[in-house]
Amino acid sequence: MPCFYKSFLGIECPGCGMQRALIALLRGEFLYSLKLYPALIPTIVMIVFLAIHLIFKLKNGAKILLYMFITNAVIIVVAYLYKMIAV
């Protein structure tokens, strides 16, 4: 699917590359997936941890999820800024 943000404004959004990275990851191309969208794998890990936390009510699960969210947000912002500067 084309990115609405990119087609409307002409620049990539912070989520551009996620679909291609997911497809690359499903094909087993781990490093290529990281190159396309570095935050994909930490985001998947965070979602799996969230599901585990919701099912088992982990003691410090909410705090761990907060740190995981902040880490993912930093990865997304840094990768986006790098992509905008490098291009």
Number of domain units in the chain: 1
Sorted by sequence, the CB contacts under 8 Å of residue 64 that are 6+ apart come out as 49, 53, 58
* Cα–Cα distance, 12 to 51 (Å, whole number): 30
Q: Is residue 85 part of a domain?
A: yes
Mean pLDDT of the chain: 93
Structural domain includes residue 49: yes
Q: Which domain holds residue 85?
A: 38-87
84 within a domain of the structure (yes/no): yes
The C-alpha atoms of residue 21 and residue 36 are separated, in whole angstroms, by 5
**Closest to 33 measured CA to CA, from 43, 14, 20:** 20
pTM: 0.88
Query: In the structure, what pLDDT confidence band is assigned to residue 78 with cuts at 50, 70 and 90?
Result: very high
Alpha carbon of residue 81 to chain centroid: 14
Q: Could you read off the pLDDT of 21-43 as tens digits, one per residue?
A: 999 999 999 999 999 999 999 99
Q: Tell me, what's the pLDDT at 70?
A: 98
